[in-house]
Amino acid sequence: MVHLLALPGSPGARPLGEVIARATSDAAALVEAGFDGIVVENFGDSPFFKDSVPPITVAAMTEAVSAVIDVADSVPVTVNVLRNDARSALAVAAATGARAIRVNVLSGARVTDQGLIEGRAADLVRTRAAWGAQDIGIWADVAVKHSAPLGLPRPIQEEALELVERAGADAVIVSGTSTGAHVDPDTLATVASAIAPHPVLIGSGTSVDTVARLLATAHGAIVGTALKVDGVTTAPVDPARARALAAAARG
């Protein structure tokens, strides 16, 4: 995963050239290590807007994703506009040729540090059709990290099944409770069984020690923290860590 530094217009913003240089360096390291895909997200923009981001963020994300695609050498790229601007992510993907978008809350509602976030699946799926962008996949989180349910919790298999059957998700992401937190294997298996044959992806906590076991259940894993220098989420990708995890995944 490529975590962008703070983009123009954000607290602690960096020059866009510096942001893109880090993004392309990280992407090149992931491609060299043998990863099958790259996710680009504006992780440095904290505190996040809960839904629509400013136009400067969309413009900067578009330039950054385009630069990553240029160095990705046909490795597919996915876009995540935090915290939950799925429409802007779709626009960036459509403009750049990215293959999918990640949506933290596609349906239902979650209580987060940004406040109450509600899914807008109806708008997103119709917009994708109107733009002729049906080939852009929608990867949706279930019980997304850094959030809590609104009201009584529901069985996670019910929420996951609704994502694919009623909200239009092409794949479902299962994460731990926070960035870098381990996924519960039983929860992962429950979701995988509920939505089969749709893909289930791991959204956090994958490491060299766990990746092979987890991929026996999941179709893929989104990995960020474990690939970074000293295991620090905001640090650059460590090529040695990336190679080790890719080898463990294939081992």
pLDDT in tens, 181-214: 899 999 999 999 999 999 999 999 999 999 999 9
> In the prediction, which pLDDT does 151 show?
87
Q: What is the mean pLDDT of the chain?
A: 96
> What's the sign of the alpha-carbon dihedral 231, 180, 188, 85?
negative
* Residues 180, 220: Cα–Cα separation, whole Å: 16
Q: What is the DSSP letter of 237?
A: B
Domains of the chain: total? 1
Q: What is the pTM of this model?
A: 0.96
What residues have CB less than 8 Å from 177, skipping those under 6 apart?
Answer: 145, 146
> In the prediction, which pLDDT does 60 show?
97
Question: How are beta strands 2-3 and 38-41 bridged, if at all?
Answer: parallel
What residues have CB less than 8 Å from 209, skipping those under 6 apart?
Answer: 248
> In the prediction, which pLDDT does 110 show?
97
Question: Is residue 125 within 8 Å of residue 88, measured between CB atoms?
Answer: no
CATH classification at residue 189: 3.20.20.70
* Torsion region of 226: left, alpha or beta (phi above 0 gives left; psi -120 to 50 gives alpha): alpha
Q: Locate tokens 């917009």: which residue?
A: 127
- Domain with 24 in it: 2-250
pLDDT lower than 70: segments of the chain = none
